[in-house]
């Protein structure tokens, strides 16, 4: 059964794709797919390149004090798949292979 994702958005906090964070600190994807210290600017640029229409919001990440900023992106597939795609695009932007 497929879900209709039209008009839906998901939240992307930098911690979700940060290889420096543990699962308990909020990392959602595997360590091998994550990138070290992703910035909001990188997430926005990667999302634009992927056609996900990013929207920045200045909100705090609940698990980490003092961490500000999140990005809303169009939900074109599952959340974890989108997070992996964004992390992969950041790797390409940084020139990291593998």
Q: What is the DSSP letter of 16?
A: G
Task: Give the domains, in start order, of the chain with CATH numbers.
Answer: 9-93 (3.30.56.30)
Q: Residues 51-81: pLDDT tens digits?
A: 999 999 998 888 777 778 999 999 999 999 9
Q: Residues 5-58: pLDDT tens digits?
A: 566 999 999 999 999 999 999 999 999 999 999 999 999 999 999 999 999 999
Any residues with CB less than 8 A from the CB of 33 and at least 6 apart, and which?
Answer: 17, 84, 87, 88
Q: What is the DSSP letter of 85?
A: H
Tell me, rounded to whole angstroms, the distance of Cα 94 from its chain centroid: 15
């Amino acid at each position: 059964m497929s879900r209709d994702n039209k008009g839906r958005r998901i939240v992307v906090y930098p911690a979700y794709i940060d290889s420096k964070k543990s699962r308990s600190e909020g990392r959602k994807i595997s360590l091998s797919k994550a990138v070290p210290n992703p910035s909001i600017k990188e997430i926005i640029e990667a999302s634009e390149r992927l056609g996900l229409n990013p929207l920045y919001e200045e909100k705090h990440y609940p698990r980490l004090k003092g961490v500000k900023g999140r990005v809303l992106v169009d939900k074109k597939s599952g959340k974890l798949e989108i997070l992996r795609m964004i992390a992969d695009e950041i790797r390409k932007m940084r020139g990291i292979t593998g």
